[in-house]
A = this chain, B = another copy of it.
Amino acid sequence: MPKLPPLNERAQHLLKVLVERYIHEGQPVGSRALAREAGLNLSPATIRNVMSDLEELGFITAPHTSAGRMPTVSGYRLFIDSLLTVKPLNDQVIRQIRDDLGHQESSGDLLETASRLLSEATHMAGVVSLPKRESSAFNHIEFLPLSEGRLLVILISGQQEIHNKIILAPRDYSALELQAAANFLNNRFAGKDIRRVRETLVREVSETRERLSQELIDAAAIAQLALDPQGERRDPVLIRGEINLMDFSEIDNLEPFRSLFETLHQQEDMIQLMDRCIESPGVQIFIGEESGHKGLDHWSLVTSAYSINDQAVGVLGVIGPTRMAYERIIPLVDLTAKLVGAALNHKTLPPL
Contact = CB atoms under 8 A, between A and B. Distances in A.
A7 interface: no
Interface string A204-247: 00000000000000000000000000000000000000010011
A258 interface: yes
A247 B247 CA distance: 19
Interface string A119-152: 0000000000000000000001010111100001
A324 to B, nearest CB: 19
Contact of A145 (B154, B160, B246, B352): B352
Contacts of A164: 154, 162, 164
Given A142-B144, A147-B352, A252-B253, A156 B152 contact: yes
Contacts of A262: 243
B160 A154 contact: no
A130 to B, nearest CB: 16
How many copies altogether? 2
A67 interface: no
A200 interface: no
A144 B154 contact: yes
A77 to B, nearest CB: 29
Interface in A322-352: 349-350, 352
A99 interface: no
A115 to B, nearest CB: 13
A110 interface: no
Interface string A254-279: 10011001100100000000000000
A32 to B, nearest CB: 32
A135 B252 CA distance: 47
A194 B6 CA distance: 75
A249 interface: yes
Interface string A291-323: 000000000000000000000000000000000
A166 interface: yes
A108 to B, nearest CB: 11
A-B pairs, top 8 by smallest CB distance, nearest first, are: A162-B164, A246-B258, A243-B261, A249-B254, A246-B254, A147-B349, A243-B262, A154-B154
Interface of A: 105-106, 140, 142, 144-147, 152, 154, 156, 160, 162, 164, 166, 243, 246-247, 249, 252-254, 257-258, 261-262, 265, 349-350, 352
